[in-house]
Amino acid sequence: MKVFKFGGASVKDADGVMNVAKVLETQGFENCLLVVSAMGKTTNALEKVVELYFSRDNYRNQISVIKENHIGIAQGLFEPTHEVFGEISLFFDDIESFLRRNKSPNYNFVYDQVVSCGEMISSKILSEYLNSAGFTNQWLDARDFVKTDNTYREGVVNWSQTEENISALKQNLSYVTQGFIGSDENNFTVTLGREGSDYTAAIFAYCMNAEAMTIWKDVPGVMTGDPRKFENVTLLSHISYEEAIEMAYYGASVIHPKTLQPLKQKNIPFFVKSFVDPLKMGTKVGNSADNQQTESYILKENQILMRISTRDFSFIAEEHLSMIFSSLAKYNIKISLMQNTAISLELCLEDKYNNIDSLTRELSETFKTQVVKNVSLFTVRNTDLSNLSKFYEGKKVLLEQISQRTLQMVTQ
């Protein structure tokens, strides 16, 4: 069994959907499970629906716009009488029905029930188109297979139940399913975090003992830097699981951080290839004597620098660290970089849920805090530590750290 994942950019319009079939012509579709993301910027558009709903604004117009966009895509793929148009309407009817009936004030719960519909609709359109193009497949609802706890927007996978469910699938068929989503024990939808479709593909690959997993992107593979942010970047043709995990942890956007561990555990080869040029080799992640350790660059923007110190200039002791980390976990704020001295702790933070003000208020009851918003974390992997001056030119460095041929600096 092979597992392919196609992201939103690959199915953003009718031409993109048709191109998926062209990619499959070059790769083969026998015994293949295909995971697909929401189309184009649909996730962002559905997030706007949730925002409008909670601000008691007119969210129905936003839903209508998204619906018309998907109908427009389907009109470029199917005859007007095709049943897929009824399916699309049902999905959007379900969103409106849920929001009319909902009594929960839990933003994250509502978010997951609404935003997940993007993947449901895209996978249904793609599945129907592939069937019409001769790529016979079964459409699966990923929520029937990927089981999680009820941590909405950041679901934790119940691996034993998930593996039991997925391993029951027949290996001699081909399937199309959704990325990004699972369900809890009450069958409410739970999303796996933004960009979680890669993780979904890895979950299915792990549970099906896949021969390989491929993510299809609009770039040639894993590059030495994001070409939109860095000049003269090159393709990394072979990297180890460990190097890819490190790059993902530091913020390389081409690979989701949680994707790699399941694949590494079963030594499943992982490829990142271009849906524009599917015959090109792309990047292979796995165990290989050809693995590269080439200087690479990663930029994480929209970070927050927080400086924490004790009010009486006593040491930052273990009980202080425990309190700080507990608060970070409470507000679901992640640490990108940490550095401590005897009397202070400096943290570069990622605040996906806009909780930094609440965290600051809580910590300020015990500590002195200083917050600098909208900073960037610049990381250089596999660098020559004897020649670092070039990386400091033109930058206002607020914090830096060097370890094992990795340079990191927080800049403003």
* Annotated binding-site ranges for ATP: 5-8, 228
Neighbours of 335 (CB within 10 A): 13
Q: How far apart are CA 225 and CA 233, in angstroms?
A: 6
Distance CA 206, CA 315 (A): 45
Contacts of 34 (CB under 8 A, 6+ apart): 3, 4, 5, 6, 20, 126, 130, 137, 174, 175, 176, 177
Sequence ranges of the binding site for substrate: 43, 119
How far apart are the C-alpha atoms of 98 and 114, rounded to whole Å?
8
Residue bearing tokens 């953003």: 12
Whole-number Å distance between alpha carbons of 189 and 112: 6
Give the number of other CB atoms < 10 A from CB of residue 174: 20
Q: Is the dihedral of CA 108, 110, 114, 116 positive or negative?
A: positive
Cβ–Cβ < 8 Å for 119, 197: yes
280 class by beta-carbon count within 10 Å (0-12 exposed, 13-18 middle, 19+ buried): exposed
Distance CA 55, CA 344 (A): 39
C-alpha distances (whole Å) from 390 to each of 147, 241, 269, 296, 394 are 48, 29, 36, 14, 9
* Tokens linked to 193: 């975090």
Q: 2-38: buried (b, 16+ CB within 10 Å) or exposed (e) per residue?
A: bbbbbbbbbbbebebbebbbebbeeeebebbbbbbbb
345 contact partners, CB below 8 Å, separation of at least 6 = 307, 308, 309, 316, 320, 321, 324, 338, 339
Distance CA 9, CA 86 (A): 25
Helices (H), 76-116: 84-101, 107-115
Q: Which residue has the tokens 């930029």?
A: 299
* Residue set of the binding site: 5-8, 43, 119, 228
